[in-house]
Amino acid sequence: MSRIITNNYFTKLNQVINGFDITPNLRSLIEFFLEDITKDQNRLRNRNQKIFTSNDLIKLNEIKSDEKLKTIYSYINILIKNFNRQYLHIHINEDLSENMTDNLVSIISWGALSESVYDDNILSNEIGFLKTEIKRDLIIPYDNNGHLTNQIFTKRLGLIHKLNFFEKIINLSQNTGNNGLLINLNTTANVCVNLSDFSIFPESINTFINFGNNLQSIYDRNNSVLQKISTIINVFPAERGKNIWYHDFIMENINAWNQLPGYNFSKIITVTSGKKNSEELLQMRKLNKFQSEEFYPIFSFEF
């Protein structure tokens, strides 16, 4: 992929990006998180019974107001949606701050969640189970064990949040597509996606978040997950160290999986970042660690 930078390049680019923006579903989901976190922080309860932290509220407000974040996110989505081949490597040519990287991981994951397709019967059953659990009487220890009491109240408040979360998903305008999405993240990215132990994606949707496991591990855990997947997105994979999971998601391995009945990974996207000069970008393209068919750098002057 390439483009020619002309005098009206930025005008056209901004028109495309502004026309995309974040979806109403994602905006609604962010507002939901903000509302639930604010309620949790305002409760007149022992702080050890709270589901979220004050940092979660700061994070959500940053995501809501950061125009640079939304521009990069929109740009990435435009590239993914318009890419009509199989293997694409998007490189954000800037040394992003850790905070920006974390927030990008969050918004990419939540954006996928907000547009995912779910099994209505399974999700309704999950909601029904939560409603039953919430109705159970709380059994408070007689010995005034403060730690155990806090755990009991935290779990109940967490289940209420989880119920609200699942009901929010079922009330979003559902995407009509049937193709699932697998988002691969590093193991440390868990805190970026799941704001609490009770904000984990339900099993009834066709969007699966993977934290550092390879395809075989996912297969062994739940084979049916992979049979729902058509698009795989590797977000900021670590390229050095032990257990480099991205190796399992490059062309030669994906092509081998696609030979098996029931699997059709039709689009593999890898997103990386880091400031590189023109020679380094050319070397990155030449080495092609991720075995992409197209290499698309996003330069800092574009956002």
Structure-block tokens of residue 229 = 């997947």
Q: For residues 273 and 101, is the Cβ–Cβ distance under 8 A?
A: yes
Amino acid at 184: N
What global pTM score does this model have?
0.88
> Half-sphere exposure of residue 274, counting CA atoms within 13 Å on the CB side?
10
Cα–Cα distance, 57 to 22 (Å, whole number): 20
List, in sequence order, every residue forming a beta bridge with 299; answer none if it has no partner.
93
- pLDDT tens track for 149-202: 888 888 999 999 999 999 998 888 665 555 789 999 998 898 899 999 999 988
pLDDT confidence of residue 15: 61
pLDDT tens for 77-102 read: 889 988 999 999 999 999 999 999 99
Residues with Cβ within 8 Å of 35's Cβ and at least 6 positions away in sequence, in order, are none
Average pLDDT over residues 285-296: 91
Q: At what angle do helices 9-20 and 67-82 cross, to 10 degrees?
A: 90
Q: Which of 16, 8, 31 is nearest to 76 (CA)?
A: 16
Amino acid sitting at position 139? I
| Alpha-carbon distances, residue 30 vs 16, 56, 279 (angstroms) | 23, 12, 40
Question: Tokens at residue 236, please?
Answer: 């900021």
Longest distance between any two alpha carbons in the chain, whole Å: 74
Helix spans in 194-296 (H): 215-221, 223-226, 251-257, 278-287
Alpha carbon distance, N-terminus to C-terminus of the chain: 18
Distance, CA of 50 to CA of 60 (rounded, Å): 17
- Shortest CA distance to 106 belongs to which of 5, 183, 193? 193
